[in-house]
Amino acid sequence: MDASPTRVFVYAAYYYPGKNLEALRAEIRSYLDRGYTVVKMKIGGVKLADDRLRIEAVLAEIGNNAQLAVDANGRFDLETAIACAKMLRKYPLFWYEEAGDPLNFALQSALAEFYPAPMATGENIFSHQDARNLLRHGGMRADRDWLQFDCALSYGLCEYLRTLEIIRAAGWSPRRCIPHGGHQMSLNIAAGLGLGGNESYPDLFQPFGGFPDGVRIENGYVTMPELPGMGFEGKSDLIRVMRQLAE
């Protein structure tokens, strides 16, 4: 995986609850059809056995054309997180995300003993001090795990730059950062700072989510358009709302 100021990896996040397996597969297929090579779905809202069926349905749908990440949204206690890890480790997942409370570093560290494949966390950590404690005490592994600190919510860009200093001092590459937040501001910051990519919400939070008009995903990457600043003017439905709010 590479990244540059003009070409940035993005993945598609799944957020729609209550769908049967057929509808879930159809939604994931829609992301692949739009050019994504990594897709993410939520887990933990149903019994473990039901999540196993959901995961297997998605893996059957994507085949060798993409990878699947799963996100528990911090809902598990340690026992449940480990039980889930034991179930997940048989599958070729892109990552296992935010199993427990984001500040429960002891849980995250213990989980690493049961899940050797990549894990991801950090979207609900906003200060460089908490980021440092995650890296010190959370059992995160710089050779495989991913950090998701939200560069648009982390108390400003200056604080995010302090977090990147912490990351480097701990022996991590900024390319292991794939921020939470599927919108233009996060995408532009990720591109400008040379991070590993960015989350994407293909169908959610409109008109604020998504990318400028005409931007397409090709083999999991977007090519940044030639627009000044954050490029809000390049997303017609968004700039329309922003102008209305400014009146």
Average pLDDT over residues 17-35: 93
pLDDT recorded at residue 245 = 93
Task: Extract the tokens encoding 158.
Answer: 């200056």
Residues 174-210: tens digit of each pLDDT: 999 999 988 888 999 999 999 999 999 888 888 988 8
- In the chain, what are the domains? 7-246 (3.20.20.120)
pLDDT averaged over the chain?
94
Distance CA 40, CA 96 (A): 10
- pTM (2 decimals)? 0.94
pLDDT over 70 (residue 3): no
pLDDT recorded at residue 2 = 56
Is 42 among the residues known to form the active site? yes
Closest CA to 70 of 88, 46, 53, 90: 88
96 and 120 in contact (C-beta within 8 Å)? yes
pLDDT over 70 (residue 4): no
11 and 220 in contact (C-beta within 8 Å)? yes
Residues 87-119: tens digit of each pLDDT: 999 999 999 999 999 999 999 999 999 999 999
Contacts of 246 by beta carbon, 8 Å cutoff, 6+ apart: none
Is 180 among the residues known to form the active site? yes
Please tell me which residue in 42, 128, 183, 235 is annotated as part of the active site: 42
Please tell me which residue in 19, 90, 137, 180 is annotated as part of the active site: 180
Q: Give me the residue label for tokens 């500040």.
A: 103
pLDDT recorded at residue 198 = 95
pLDDT recorded at residue 204 = 82
175 and 196 in contact (C-beta within 8 Å)? yes
Residues 119-165: tens digit of each pLDDT: 999 999 999 999 999 999 999 999 999 999 999 899 999 999 999 99
